[in-house]
Amino acid sequence: MKAPSFTALDQSGEKIALKDFLGKVVVLYFYPKDATPGCTQEACDFQESLAAFKKAGAVVIGVSKDSLESHLKFANKQGLRFSLLSDEDGKICEKYGVWQEKMLYGRKFMGIVRATFVIDQAGKIFKSFEKVKVKGHVNEVLEAVKACS
């Protein structure tokens, strides 16, 4: 399946479009909120493995509905050296089907379901990970990237 196209700004104000990465593997991961425990752990895990992803020919891009200012603060505090896209209007989340009903403490609400998509060099979804558990996830993604390369 062809990966839905998108264009958005990252934490440094740079315009990022999926089409700009044709010929590379893209790890596109969606997370609920900057600076929360699970999201911080996931981002730091991707950062720690960034060299391995680059060596495998992949770029890592995170997406949430947080503002550019929130992303910049989060990236600076955690030392993240990959793009965090701001999807404040939720269009990218909707295209990838990650904006869903969630439940927390018996309360239903809409939010981003943690998910990761490995997109191949031709712009097709090679593998998707849905309802992700943070622990060990980055290693699974790296294995998928290596299989895709």
- Per-residue pLDDT tens over the stretch 40-75: 999 999 999 999 999 999 999 999 999 999 999 999
d(CA 15, CA 84): 11
pTM of the complete model beyond 0.85: yes
Q: Which residues are catalytic?
A: 39
Domain residue limits, the chain: 7-148
Token pair 């603060």 is found at 73
- Are residues 84 and 10 in contact, defined by beta-carbon separation less than 8 angstroms? yes
- Rounded to an integer, the average pLDDT of 113-130 is 97
pLDDT for 147: 96
pLDDT for 104: 84
Q: Each residue of 116-147: b (16+ CB within 10 Å) or e? A: bbbbbbebebbbbbeebebeebbeebbebbee
Copy the structure tokens of residue 65. Answer: 């509905």
pLDDT for 85: 98
CATH 3.60.21.10, domain 7-148, yes or no? no
